[in-house]
Amino acid sequence: MTTARTRVLEKHTVGFVPEEDRHGKVRDLFTLWFGGNLAPLPIVTGALGPALFGLSLWWSLIAFAVGHLLGGALMALHSAQGPQMGIPQMIQSRGQFGSLGALLVVVIAAVMYLGFFASNIVLAGQSLHGVVPAVPLSLGIVIGALCSAAICIVGYKLIHLLNKIGAWVLGIGIVVGFIAIFASDLPADFLTRGGFDFASWLATVSLAALWQIAFAPYVSDYSRYLPADVGVASSFWATYAGSVLGSFLAFSFGAVVALAAPIGMDTMEGVDVATGSLGTAMLLLFLLSVISHNALNLYGAVLSIITSIQTFREQWIPTARARVVVSIVILILASALAIGLSTDFVSRFVDLVVVLLIVLVPWTAINLLDFYVVHKGKYDLDSMFRVDGGIYGRFQTRAITAYAIGIAVQVPFMATSLYTGPIAAHVGGADLSWIAGLVVTGPVYLLLQRGHSTDVPAGAPSEDQSTKADIGHDRAPAR
């Protein structure tokens, strides 16, 4: 008999994962997020510390550490929800925003995943072109996208397996890369180039924090198959340690490459030059890394789109076939987008990061407070899969109001290429918007929730009863 332990192709999509299909160890979260973060895109992002913001190596490293430690805590708190709920993060958001209200966040998440997927396949194309110059960049982009799609289609177990292998291979590889760079003839100003500027430093902190927060809408998708008895604390620490350590290493490597390579050189080309004779091997390693890492972005986009469709089709049973079809559609769209922006993707990526910071921070504050403080992890799962939202309704105006306020309050603190708010301008152009969003949204949401019943009503299915009620909507065999 085929079981979840022997099945290769993942059968579930957005539905509840019953206990008999749970598998894995909590340590798998460490290897997933450690290996998954040792990839070209965080390396390119880390290079922005010295290359774009003009920070010295030491101030860049401090900014990375602060940003990842802060953002990683929020990201890991989301991860710990997965084993307790057994459903994707975007489905769980219906418990705060309602069945239709949650669509706002789902669409934002889908756009985010599409942007990250497109950015990563550009890097895959650049890496492949660097390894095999005869392969045009556009063809390299398509090849990278196809490989990531294949991993996404197989699903959860393959993603975890590849990142478990990658945690060791890439971990050793990046250490060897550091050694190769520091053993070479470094520029005379390697340790003295750049300096400290508060606005630039804070912008770099924000990039690191957002790198972590950007995982929040899908991080629990990769912990939802773990047995519920692994506990919140162990899930949190395994995710936190893996993600913060892996991303800090990747960002730091990017900063070192930016200072060791000729000024103005593309980051991945800089990796080739700065690591000397190991350059080709490093590019090949990062090519495999970005393909594996990017499967997470495609997987998240697929689940978000399926969630959007399921919102209006309560009786629909999305299976592996739905994941295959949606993956192919996204693959085509993202490849076309990536080829079109491949010549200037870094600046476009930074713009995307800034926008995501503004819209993700209020959501993460609401979601975490609702789970850990308001509902204390107790939700009516049956209601989350109903078109009318069940006890959560179609729209939860309190969450939507707090979310809107959380976005609005950030505007005066914004510092972007398109707009700089008055408070940001007053402090030298430092972007404080994400801090304002976190500080304001949470208390506003808790204040709006006062006096309203938050308990699952008597007679509503408990989590265990919901498991038996087949609320997952996708327990049919994969087809």
CB-CB contact of 266 with 258 (8 Å) = no
Q: Which residues neighbour 465 within 8 Å (Cβ) at sequence distance 6 or greater?
A: none
Residue 236 has pLDDT above 90, yes or no: yes
> Band of the pLDDT at 355, cuts 50, 70, 90?
confident
pLDDT computed for residue 349 by the predictor: 61
Q: Which residues neighbour 311 within 8 Å (Cβ) at sequence distance 6 or greater?
A: 99, 100, 102, 103, 106, 387
Residue 451 has pLDDT above 80, yes or no: no
Provide the token pair at 38. Answer: 């040792």
pLDDT computed for residue 467 by the predictor: 36
For range 357-385, the mean pLDDT: 91
pLDDT computed for residue 339 by the predictor: 79
Query: Which of these ranges, 132-141, 402-411, 433-442, has the smallest mean pLDDT?
Result: 132-141
pLDDT computed for residue 418 by the predictor: 73
pLDDT computed for residue 8 by the predictor: 67
pLDDT computed for residue 344 by the predictor: 63
Residue 474 has pLDDT above 80, yes or no: no
Mean pLDDT over the full length of the chain: 85
pLDDT computed for residue 367 by the predictor: 95
pLDDT computed for residue 348 by the predictor: 64
Q: Which helix (H) or strand (E) holds 189?
A: none
Q: What is the pLDDT of residues 163-217, one digit of tens each?
A: 888 889 999 999 999 999 999 989 999 999 999 988 889 889 988 998 998 888 8
Q: Which homologous superfamily does the CATH classification assign to the domain defined by 19-344?
A: Hydantoin permease (1.10.4160.10)
CB-CB contact of 284 with 131 (8 Å) = yes
CB-CB contact of 126 with 338 (8 Å) = no
Q: Residue 95 gets which letter from DSSP?
A: H
> Could you write out the DSSP letters of every residue in 9-40?
S---SSS---GGG----THHHHHHHHHHHSSH
Helices (H), 378-432: 381-384, 397-408, 422-426
pTM for the model:
0.86
> Could you write out the DSSP letters of every residue in 257-277?
HHHHSPTT--HHHHHHHHTGG
CB-CB contact of 245 with 64 (8 Å) = no
Provide the token pair at 162. Answer: 């590849």
Q: What is the pLDDT of residues 269-308, one digit of tens each?
A: 899 899 988 888 888 888 888 888 888 888 888 888 888 8
